[in-house]
Amino acid sequence: MTDKKLPPGLHPDTLAVREAVERSQWGEHSEALYLASSFVQPNAETAARRFAALEEGYTYTRTGNPTVTSFERRLAAMEGTECAIATSTGMSAILLVALTVLKTGDHVICSQSMFGSTIKLLGTEMARFGVETSFVAQTDVEAWKAAIRPNTRMLFAETPTNPLTDLCDIAALADLAHAHGALLAVDNSFATPVLQQPAKLGADLVVHSGTKFLDGQGRVMAGAVCGTVALVDKVMGTFLRSGGLNLSPFNAWVVMKGMETLSLRVKAESAAALELARWMEAHPKVARVYYPGLESHPQHALAMRQQNGMGGAVLAFDVVGEGAEQLRAQAFHVIDSTLLCSITANLGDVKTTITHPASTSHGRLTEEQRQSAGVGQGLIRISVGLEHLDDLKADLLRGLDTLT
């Protein structure tokens, strides 16, 4: 039983709570959770028709589940794409993109400051299958352009990046990709559709780690790819069903409940992050703050245009110090002095998280890869949650005020 038919032209905030509400025969108000690995068929003939895809109906959760379908429809509506496909994690979403879009002999271009596992997957793992990857400076459209080759199949961007909040111009990259017969994929885990809808700016594929803001409360892992029916539903869906990269219905249900408050959370966290960033910029023990909402950010104008006037919840800063060893000790001191902030690599949570990227999220990279990602030993990343701002400032001051 599906909900009333929704009127057209609804805003993302409305879609987040109203799109694709799937109800059981009892008409429960909250979305039903169909926690089942398989579905009973009314008779052998129907089973045969459903397995042959001649008739709609669920058979086995790896090939489809109503709760997972609801999550996919809701995310697609919020991203403004024809459809979405749910995966077990953000990385399995990126793996799905890599294995369906790329083949031996293809070339992919991506930013050198992307999520660590994405760099590892596209730069190292895919090389074993004969896929070539070029890494370029995130912010420089000319660098992306110069890296184009006749066999370039895809441009893969993440904006803003983790942890330095570098942006790329999605519309410009989409034009560049399309002029050379390539696809543009954008990882929108950081920005979420509340800040930007990459498909509306020309991106062909929008990738998500639902583990971050979509859930928003640090409970489950999830991922998704959004795009056209022809590519995402048909090509990627077929691969996903064979490859078993699917999302668990329980996790889909949890993330869907998280998405209901996504807009409120992201707007509140973004406002708090801006105030925190301004305050930090004035602190003598902070060498530099990276935050797109600040006028000092090199791409502030692009951020305001592309991100719905918001900077997002994530900011990073360098503590003062000299040499890798001292910088690392200073950063560890600030992190270890906090009593509220959670020391965890997760982000997008209602609880503020604090992390040292050089030894955690970027710890597995070679020193050279880390250098080109711009992640120094004095860098600290914060994903601002929903605590009172005064309490957060006090928490950071514990370490900052006692630095040498």
**Token pair for residue 95?**
């793996």
β-pair type (353-355, 342-343):
parallel
Which string of DSSP letters, residue by residue, matches 169-180?
-HHHHHHHHHHT
CB-CB contact of 208 with 262 (8 Å): no
353 sits near ligand PLP (criterion: CB under 6 A): no
What residues from 154 to 173 belong to the interface with ligand PLP (CB under 6 A)? 158, 162
**70 vs 211 by CB, closer to ligand PLP:** 211
Candidate list 190, 290, 291, 317; residue touching ligand PLP; CB under 6 A: 190
**DSSP letter assigned to residue 313:** S
Binds ligand PLP by CB under 6 A, chosen from 212, 283, 285, 362 = 212
Closer to ligand PLP by CB, 91 or 96: give it: 91
CA distance 262 to 83: 19
Q: Are 389 and 340 in contact (CB under 8 A)?
A: no
Q: Which is nearer to ligand PLP, 286 or 358 (CB)?
A: 358
Contact by Cβ (8 Å): 368, 338: no
- Pairing state between β 205-209 and 314-319: unpaired
What DSSP state is assigned to residue 248?
Answer: P
Q: Min. distance of Cβ 117 from ligand PLP in angstroms?
A: 6
Tokens linked to 338: 């906090």
Name the residue number minimizing CB distance to ligand PLP: 90
- The tokens describing 140, both together, are 């420089």
Q: From the list 221, 232, 266, 319, which residue makes contact with ligand PLP (rule: CB under 6 A)? A: 221
User: Binding pattern to ligand PLP, positions 295-334, x when CB under 6 A?
Assistant: ----------------------------------------
**Per-residue contact string for residues 237-276; x = within reach of ligand PLP by CB under 6 A:** ----------------------------------------
Asked if 213 and 182 count as a contact pair (C-beta separation under 8 A), the reply is no
Identify residues 55-94 at the interface with ligand PLP (CB under 6 A). Answer: 89-91
| Nearest alpha carbon to residue 220 among 187, 244, 253 | 253
Taking the complex as a whole, the smallest distance from the CB of residue 361 to ligand PLP amounts, in Å, to 8
Q: What's the min distance (Å) between Cβ of 93 and ligand PLP?
A: 8
Given 34, 58, 71, 115, the residue binding ligand PLP (CB under 6 A): 115
211 lies in the site for ligand PLP, by CB under 6 A: yes
Span of 10-18, 99-107, 207-215, 225-233 interacting with ligand PLP by CB under 6 A: 207-215
**Residue 108 or 403: which CB sits closer to ligand PLP?**
108
Residues 6+ apart with CB under 8 A from 388: none
Cis peptide before 163, with omega less than 30 degrees from 0? Answer: yes
Binding region for ligand PLP (CB under 6 A) out of 28-36, 167-175, 205-213, 298-306: 205-213
Q: Percentages helix, strand, coil for the chain, rounded to the nearest 5?
A: 45, 15, 40
Report DSSP state, residue 221. -
What sign has the CA pseudo-torsion 278, 112, 236, 81? positive
How many residues in the shown chain lie near ligand PLP by CB under 6 A?
16
Instruction: Find the shortest distance in angstroms from Cβ 212 to ligand PLP.
Output: 5
* 139 vs 162, beta carbon nearer ligand PLP: 162
Among 322, 320, 283, which Cα is nearest to 403's? 320
Q: Which residues bind ligand PLP (CB under 6 A)?
A: 89-91, 115, 117-118, 158, 162, 187, 189-190, 209, 211-212, 221, 223
